[in-house]
Amino acid sequence: MNDQVSHDRYGLGVVIGVEDELAVFVDFGSRQVRITTPFDKLYKL
Query: What was the pLDDT predicted at 1?
Result: 86
pTM assigned to the model: 0.90
Has residue 23 been placed in a domain? Answer: yes
Q: What pLDDT is stored for residue 21 in this prediction?
A: 86
- Which residues span the domain enclosing 8? 4-39
Position 44 in a domain: no
Q: How many CB atoms lie within 10 A of CB 5?
A: 20
Give me the amino acid identity at 14.
V
Q: Which residues contact 20 (CB under 8 A, 6 or more apart)?
A: none
- The number of distinct structural domains making up the chain is 1
Q: Which tens digits make up the pLDDT trace of 8-33?
A: 999 999 999 999 989 999 999 999 99
**Residue 22 contacts by C-beta under 8 Å, 6 or more apart in sequence?**
36, 37
